[in-house]
Amino acid sequence: MVDSLKKPAFEEIRPGVKKPSEDTILTPRFYTTDFEEMAQMDLSVNEEELKALIEEFRVDYNRHHFVRDEQFKQSFDHIDGEKRRLFVEFLERSCTAEFSGFLLYKELSRKLKNRNPLLAEGFLLMSRDEARHAGFLNKSLSDFNLSLDLGFLTSSKKYTYFKPKFILYATYLSEKIGYWRYITIFRHLEKNPQEDIYPIFNFFENWCQDENRHGDFFDAVMRAQPYTLTGLKARLWCRFFLLSVFGTMYLNDIQRTGFYESLGLVTRDFEREVINKTNRSAGKVFPIILDVEHPDFYKRLEKCIGTNEKLAAIGKSNSPKAIKLLKKLPLYASNGWQFLMLYLVKPIDVQPIHGEVL
Ligand SMILES: [Fe+2]
Ligand SMILES: [Fe+2]
């Protein structure tokens, strides 16, 4: 009895197989793109750098890294109650995000194989890494007596279509932000070993280097397609993707503050650190970065958090659907307004200082 109280119940599609979380605007997505346009990408202006990066992928530094060693041979029942729910949620979201990368890169490598072999090989090697990451996270769910049916997820989840240039911005940023998230957690736990309550975090140091290399690959592809990085349109889209990626992470993570606190992190400090670092990394390739020190930046994001709490409360209420929608509309408009205002904050021009160490 006491045991069942300490372990939160998860909805299952089969015994031990967790029902995937409902899709919302903030959940990890699966992507598809225009494979024909991607196949026609001419990479010749940056071919040497791409070949060098692919050579590094082939070395496969993490070939023997993802092994569930004796650290995992223990019970994790002491991670219980709300903390357990947050851990499972973290593992599920991370697994879904890594698996999303795998599916997209694998499909790209398959479709481009005979049309654009250089790009195809890069995608194939990155899909190898993402499969390992997703698999390792899924196995970690078994420490909590759960797993995700990735085949079911592949066929049941909606796919979002992005034009190739948007895929480049989005994947570049998600790889770099993934790198900074993993390394920031790792460094924190290295300094505070008493907070290291689950072994997966000990794998983040080498793991994040995969993400960093993936980000560098997209950096090199964008440089081979200068229209993605120069001109007014490129500046506006870079701004849009930076804001979307930072905003989504912030809203997601603040909702789950308990998870970061359970590792001894101060969630808002963690977010600022990851956003600052990713923004600076992006400045090595994007023509602009966001002014994240602007006094409105976090103020407006915090307003959205307040609004999201109200939206969640309406969602949980017993009102009829139409009434719920009526109540929600002004709140959606408020979030839209905050993001529009954030988008209009003057960005920082970094083109003149490209090539310098930021
Ligand atoms: Fe990954
Ligand atoms: Fe990656």
Mean pLDDT per 10-residue interval, the chain, length 358 residues: 61 80 75 96 95 97 95 93 94 95 97 95 98 96 92 89 96 97 98 95 97 98 95 96 97 95 97 98 97 97 96 93 95 97 96 54
Which residues make Cβ contacts (< 8 Å) with residue 337, sequence separation at least 6? none
Sign of the dihedral defined by the CA atoms of residues 126, 132, 133, 135, in that order: positive
The residues that bridge with 348 in the sheet, in sequence order, are 289
Distance 127 CA to ligand 1 centre (A): 9
Q: How far apart are CA 57 and CA 125, in angstroms?
A: 6
What's the Rg (C-alpha) of the chain?
Answer: 21
DSSP strand pairing (288-289 vs 348-349): antiparallel
CA of 213 to the centre of ligand 2 (A): 8
Q: 325 alpha carbon to ligand 2 midpoint, in Å?
A: 37
User: DSSP states of 239-257 as a string?
Assistant: HHHHHHHHHHHHHHHHHTH
**DSSP one-letter string for 305-351:** HHHHHHHHHHHHS-S-HHHHHHHHHHHHHHHHHHHHHHHHS--EE-G
Ligand nearest the Cα atom of residue 95: 1
Predicted confidence at residue 2, as pLDDT, reads: 44
d(CA 313, CA 24): 15
The angle subtended at Cα 260 by Cα 256 and Cα 261, nearest 5°, is 105
Which residues have beta carbons under 5 A from ligand 2 (an ion)? 175, 211, 214
Q: What token pair was written down for 52? A: 């060098």
Distance in Å, CA 127 to ligand 2 centroid: 8
215 CA to centre of ligand 2 in angstroms: 7
pLDDT at 297: 97
**What is the C-alpha to C-alpha distance for residues 4 and 239, in angstroms, rounded to an integer?**
47
pLDDT at 357: 41
Q: How far is the CA of 207 from the centre of ligand 1 (A)?
A: 7
Q: Which ligand is nearest to the CA of 133?
A: 1
pLDDT value, residue 353: 59
- pLDDT value at position 18? 81
Residue 237 Cα to ligand 1 middle (Å): 24
Mean of all residue pLDDT scores within the chain: 93
* Cα(63)–Cα(128) distance, integer angstroms: 10
Please give the distance, rounded to the nearest whole angstrom, from the Cα atom of residue 314 to the centre of ligand 1: 35
How far is the centre of ligand 1, averaged over its atoms, from the C-alpha of 97 (Å)? 8
Determine the distance separating the centroid of ligand 1 and the alpha carbon of 316, expressed in angstroms: 34
Q: Starting from the CA of residue 176, give the closest ligand.
A: 2
% of the chain beyond a pLDDT of 70: 95
C-beta separation of 291 from 345 below 8 A: yes
Cα 216 to ligand 1 centroid, rounded to whole Å = 13
Give CA–CA dist 298/214, Å, rounded.
29
pLDDT at 195: 95
* CB of 300 closer than 8 Å to CB of 342: yes
C-alpha–C-alpha distance, residues 141 and 147, integer Å:
5
What contacts 24+ positions apart, CB below 8 Å, involve 152-156? 152/13, 152/17, 152/20, 153/20, 153/96, 153/99, 154/30, 154/103, 156/20
Question: How many A from CA of 212 to the centre of ligand 1?
Answer: 9
Contacts of 2 (CB under 8 A, 6+ apart): none
All residues with CB under 5 Å from ion ligand 1: 98, 130, 133
Please return the burial class of 2, using the count of CB atoms within 10 Å of its CB with bins 0-12, 13-18 and 19+.
exposed
Ligand nearest to the CA of 131: 1
